Structure 1
Amino acid sequence: MQIENKTFDELQIGDSAELRRLITPDDLIIFATASGNYNTMHLPGFDTDGDGKSEEVAPGMFTASLIAGVLGSMLPGPGTLYRNQTLSFMERAHAGEELLARVTVVDKQAGGLITLRTEVIRASDDAVIVNGEAQVMAPETKFVAKDIHIPGLLVQRHRHFDALIEQAAPLPALITAVVCPVTEESLNGALLAADDSIITPILIGNAAKIQAAAKSLGRELTGIEIIDEPSDTGAAQMGCQLARDGRANAVMKGHLHTDDLLRAMVDKETGLRTGRRFTHVFVMDVPGEPEPLLVTDAAINISPDLKTKVDITQNAIELAVSLGLEPRAGILSAVETVNPDIQSSVDAALLSKMADRGQIKGGAVDGPLAMDNAVDMAAARTKGLKGAVAGRANILVVPGIDAGNMLAKQLSYISHAEAAGLVLGAQVPVILNSRSDGAMSRLASCAVAAIHHFSQQGD
C-alpha cells in the first residue's frame, strides 16, 4: 500500500478525501477489545433490548475513528496531529453497512493549523451518521512510502460452530448413548447439547459417579435415563447394544479410553461394523477461514493403506455434503508431485484418479498436494497447480495418524481452532472427543453428528 501526505504548503481550501469501509461483526469485537467498551448493544450475538435480534450497533467512537483514518492516512496524511474535533451523532450505523468517511479543507491559518469539515455517511442512503469539524496541525515535511505493511488481526471466535449448532437446532433431538460421562467435562457437553435439544442423552456408566459429576455441575438429571454399568468395557458394550437395537441413533464417548470404546464397536458379533472402515474426522473451526476445515484421519487409522484411504476420503466427503459444504478433498503429502520413494504421494495420485473414475464419489479429489498449496491459492498458483481443489481444499486427508494428529493440534493450539470429532463408517455416528476437550467442542460434535445422521436418513 502506498501512502503520501500533503504538506501545509500543498493544501488548498476545498481539498477533499474520502474512505469507504464495510462494517463487519469482527470490527465490533476488535473495537471492544481495544477500547474496553463491552456494551452488548455493540457486540454480535446479544439481544440487549429484548426484541429478539442482535442489535450490532457500531459504537459512535468507532464511526468517528474513520474520520481519523482519513486525516492520518490521506488528507493531510502522515505527520498530521489532532488539535480539536467536534462530533455530532445524527444516526446509528450497524454491522453489514458500508460507510463513507469524508474530510474537506475549509480554512488554513498561520503556523500550520488546518480546519476541515468532517462527516461519515451511510453509503446505501446517504444518511449522515456523524458530522463535525476538525482542527489539525498539518505536516511540514513531505512523506511518501510505497510499501506500508500493517500486520492483520485475527478475531478468535468460532462462527462456523455457531452456524452448525444453529443448523442442528430445528432437527429432532438425536437419541445418544453417552458412554461413561463420569466427570464434569464429559457430562457437561452432553447436558449442554440436551439443553439445546440437539441430543436426548442416555447416560451409561457408574451411576454414582454420574450423579456426583452432575452435583458438581449444579445440574439435575431428572428425566434423563441412566443405565448403571460400573465398568468402562461394559458401558461401551451397552452403548453399542443400544445402537444395534435402534434405541440410540448415536454413541458419544465420555471419560474412557478411546481404545475401550473402539474395541466394543469393532467386535464382529456385537459391534457396529458396516463393511466400511471406521475413520475419524475432525471438523475444525479455524478463526479467519471462510468455512470449516475437515482433517482426516487423525485418531484411528495409524498407517492407512490405499484401500483404507479410500474409505477415509469417502467418509469425509459424505460428512462435508451433510454439513452443506462443497467437498474439495486435498490428499496431502510432502510434495505436490508423484515421487515413487514417497508412498503418500503415490497413494494421493491413485486416490485422485479413482475419484476421476467414480470410485470415490460426491466431491472433488486432488493430490498429491503439499499443505501450502492445498490451502493457499497463491502457493498453488506459484506451483502452477489448477483445478477445483488446489489452494481451496476444505478436506485434508493426511498420510497417517502422526501427521494428522500434529496438524489438528497445531490448528488448535497455534491457530486457536476448535475441533469437533466424529467417527464415521459405523452403523451410527460416534461422537469422539478428547478427554481434554471443552464444552464447545463437545457441543459442536453433537451438532455435527445430528446433522450427519438426519442428512443420511434423508438420502
Structure 2
Amino acid sequence: MKPIENRPFDDIAVGDTVDLHGRVVSKDAARQFITLDCAAAAPAAARATAGRLRGTSPAGQLATAAGAASGGQAARFQALIAAAAGLPPARAAVVHPCDTLSLKGALEAADKGMIVPVLVGPRGKIEAAAQEAGASLKGIEIIEAPHSHAAAERAVALVREGKAELLMKGKLHTDELMAPAVDPDRGLRTERRMSHVFALDVPHYPKLLFITDAAINIFPDLETKRDIVQNAIDLAQALGIGRPKVALLSAVETVYPKIPSTIEAAALCKMLDRGQITGGVLDGPLAIDNAISREAAAAKGISSEVAGDADILMVPDLEAGNMIAKQLVYLASAQAAGIVLGARVPIVLTSRADGVLARLASTAMARIHAAHHRAPRQ
C-alpha cells in the first residue's frame, strides 16, 4: 500500500510488526484501486499512526510493496499459468536445454500440463543437466543434436514438419536461435515481421504491462512498427484484453519533425484509422510518464483513452525498450516474461538468467496465443 496522507509514525521503526486496520472509503473500478482510512499500531500502545492508504483491490491482483518484499507478487503471471494449464498441452521443441534453469522450466511447464517437451540438443549434456537438477527424463523425447546451432536448426525443422507447435529457447544466444527461424527459405517467416513482446507484472501498476520491441528489431522502420504493434495487439487479445490500449512512446507528446519517432507515432495512429492496424486503440506520440500516469497526462492537458492507462508501450527502438524493461525489473521489482510473435509458431524467448517463473509465464503466453490463433498466417 502506498501512503497518500498520514500523521507522523512517531517512533515506529523499520522491521517493526504493526497491526493494520482499515475502512474502504472509495474505489476506482477502472484502475482496480481502493482507498482506505487506516490505523496502524505497533505492540507498544503509544506507537501508532493513522492515515489514508491507496492500493489495489483483491480482484486487481496487484502486488503491494509488502507483497513484493515477501515474494507474493506476480499474481497475474500465476493466473496466466493457470489458464494455460487448462488447455490441451502443446508439443514444444526445447532448443539446447543444457543447463538446470532452462531444463527445469521446460519440465515444470510439462508438469503443469502446458506442453509436451521435445528436448533438442546433445543428449549427454541434457542428461547431465537433469542429474544436476535432480529431475527425471523418463518418458521425455530427446532428439540428438551435436551443438546449439544444430539444435536450433533441427527444432525449426520440427516446426516446419508440423511436429512442434511452440519453440522454446534453452541455453544458447538469441541470435543462434533466431538465425534459422528467420531464414528466408527454411525458416518460420510469415508475411508479418517477427517481433518480441515483454509482459511485465509491475508492482503498483494495475494490470499487465506489455513492452515491444525490446529484443529483435533494432531500429524498426514504419512498416516494421506496424507489424510490431499488430503482433502485440494480437497477443493482448489472446490473453483476454478485448481492446488493448497502445501508447506510442517518444520523448515528447507533440509531433516534432526533428524527432522521427513522433512522426511515425502519428502515422501509426492514421494507419489504425485506415484499417492497416486492427483490434486496439492507439495514441501517440506520448512520453512514458503520460502513457502510464493519469496525473501526468492531466497535468499536460492530454485527453486520451490511452494516456494514463496503457496496456502496451510501443518503444521507438530496441535500445529504449530494453532499458525500460530492465529498469522495471531491477528498480521496480517487476517480473518479466517474453515471447516472439510473427513466426509460424510463438517462440518462447527468455534470458539465460531468467528463473523458472519467467519461463513458465512465457510458456503460458505462448500456449494461450497458439490456442487463440490456431491458423497462423503463412
Same fold (TM over 0.5): yes
CA deviation digits over 1:368-397, x for unaligned, max 9? 000000000011111111221111111000
Distance 1:243 1:228 in 2: 16
**Matched-pair contact (CA < 8 Å) for 2:38–2:53:** no
- Paired residues in the alignment total 334
Task: Name 1:297's counterpart in structure 2.
Answer: 213
**TM-score relative to the length of structure 1:** 0.69
- Hey, what does 1:22 align to over in structure 2? none
Distance 1:3-1:414 versus aligned 2 partners, 3 A rule = closer
- The residue that corresponds to 1:283 in the other structure is 199
In the alignment, structure 1 residue 452 sits paired with structure 2 residue 363:
no
- Code of the residue aligned with 2:140 in structure 1: it is I
CA separation of 1:285 and 1:150: change in aligned 2, threshold 3 A: closer
2:234 is aligned, of 308, 318, 324, to: 318
Instruction: Give the 3 Å change call, closer, same or farther, for CA 236–100 of structure 1 in structure 2.
Output: closer
The one-character-per-residue Cα deviations of 1:250-300 (angstroms, maximum 9, x if unpaired) are 000100111111110011221001111110000111122221100000000
1:333 aligns with 2:250: yes
Q: Deviations over 1:295-339 (max 9, x none)?
A: 000000000000000000000000000001231010000000000
Note the C-alpha offset of 1:100: 10
Distance across 1 between alignment mates of 2:335 and 2:5: 37
Q: 1-side partners of 2:170 and 2:359: how far apart? A: 10
Alignment-mate amino acid for residue 360 of structure 2: L
CA deviation string 1:201-223 (max 9, x = no partner): 10000110000000001111010
1:387 to 304, 309, 316: 304
Instruction: Identify the match of residue 374 of structure 1 among 291, 302, 324.
Output: 291
Greater radius of gyration (CA):
1
SS in 2 for 1:352: helix
Residues 211 and 390 (structure 1), Cα distance of their counterparts in 2 relative to 1, 3 Å cut: same
Query: For residues 259 and 137 of structure 2, what CA distance do their matches in structure 1 show?
Result: 53
Counterparts in 2 of 1:3 and 1:183: CA distance versus 1, 3 Å? closer
- Distance between the aligned counterparts of 1:374 and 1:418, measured in 2? 20
Q: What is the RMSD of the two structures over their aligned residues, measured on CA atoms?
A: 2.7
Structure 1 counterpart of 2:42: none
Q: Deviation string for 1:236-256 (max 9, x for gaps)? A: 111111111111000001001
Q: Percent identity?
A: 50
**2:168 aligned partner:** 252
Structure 1: which amino acid aligns with 2:255? V
**Paired AA for residue 348 in structure 2:** I
Deviation sequence 1:83-129 (CA, Å, 0-9, x none): xxxxxxxxxxxxxxx99999xxxxxxxxxxxxxxxxxxxxxxxxxxx
Amino acid corresponding to residue 159 of structure 2 in structure 1: A
Alignment equivalent of 2:141, drawn from 208, 221, 225: 225
Q: Are residues 1:425 and 2:321 paired?
A: no
3-state SS in 1 of match to 2:104: helix
Unaligned 5+ runs, structure 1: 5-32, 36-60, 71-97, 103-135, 138-147
- Provide closer, same or farther for how the CA distance between residues 223 and 350 of structure 1 changes in structure 2, counting only shifts above 3 A: same
One-letter identity of the residue aligned with 2:302: L
- Which amino acid is the alignment partner of residue 438 of structure 1? G
Following the alignment from structure 1 to structure 2, what is the Cα–Cα distance between the partners of residues 363 and 318?
9
Say if 1:334 and 1:220 are closer, same or farther in 2 by CA, change over 3 A. Answer: same
Structure 1 residue 3 displacement after superposition: 7.3
Q: Looking at both structures, which has the greater relative contact order when contacts are Cα pairs under 8 Å and sequence separation is at least 6? A: 2
C-alpha distance in 1 between matches for 2:93 and 2:6: 61
- Read off the aligned partner of 1:359 and give its amino acid letter: Q
CA shift in 2, pair 1:172/1:151, >3 Å: closer
Cα gap change, 1:99/1:190 in structure 2, threshold over 3 Å: closer, same or farther? Answer: same
TM-score by structure 2 length? 0.83
Counterpart amino acid of residue 395 in structure 1: I
Q: Are positions 1:362 and 2:315 aligned together? A: no
1:180 pairs with 93, 96, 102, which one? 96
Residue 193 (structure 1) aligned to one of 109, 112, 122: 109
Q: Give the secondary structure class of the aligned counterpart of 1:373.
A: helix
Aligned to 1:79: none
| Distance of 2:37 and 2:100 partners within structure 1 | 50
